[in-house]
Amino acid sequence: MERVPILKIGPTLFVSIQIDLQDDSVLALQEDLADQLVATGAHGVIIDITAVEIVDSFIGRMLTMIGSISRLFDAETVIVGMRPAVAITLTELGLSLKGVRTALNAEKGLEILNGKS
């Protein structure tokens, strides 16, 4: 199983998913992120899914859960870079990713976390 690296940049944890996600990798990311939020006291998480070709119901649920878990550690999660085809498919699948914020790209995501929009 491949693990997704988590980078700390200032008060933000940055996750860029560059692998073909299997369920165990997503579960590991959830745990790693919770650990890192506690260890670093970060106030924001940016998850870049530019390279993610599909988000199915499991991955979508895990992204929503990451948002909920982060909130318990006083951190906001922004998912950035969703592909148009992924957005269309997610909606048809019936998933809305309620509870997590989304932004077009990492720059706009950072603006949300920094309170600029």
Partner 1 sequence: MDELPIRSGDDVVRVRQHVRTAAAASGLSLVDQTKLVTAASELARNTLVYGGGGVARVEAVKSANGRGGIRLQFTDEGPGIPDVDLALTDGWTSGSGLGLGLSGARRLVDEFELISKPGTGTSVTVVKWSRLTSRCWRRRPGTCAGCG
Q: Is 84 in the site for partner 1 (CB under 8 A)?
A: yes
Q: What does the alpha-carbon distance between residue 108 and residue 90 come to, in Å, rounded to a whole number?
A: 21
Stretch of 17-25, 38-46, 68-76, 100-108 lying at the interface with partner 1 (CB under 8 A): 17-25
Q: Does 31 bind partner 1 (CB under 8 A)?
A: no
Subset of 39-68 contacting partner 1 (CB under 8 A)? 53-58, 61
Residue showing tokens 């550690």: 73
Residue 68 beta carbon to partner 1: minimum distance, rounded to whole angstroms: 14
43/30 Cα distance (integer angstroms)? 16
- For residue 86, count CB atoms less than 10 angstroms from its CB and return exposed for 0-12, middle for 13-18, buried for 19 or more: middle
**Can you give the binding site for partner 1, defined by CB under 8 A?**
1, 20-24, 53-58, 61, 83-86, 88-89, 92-95
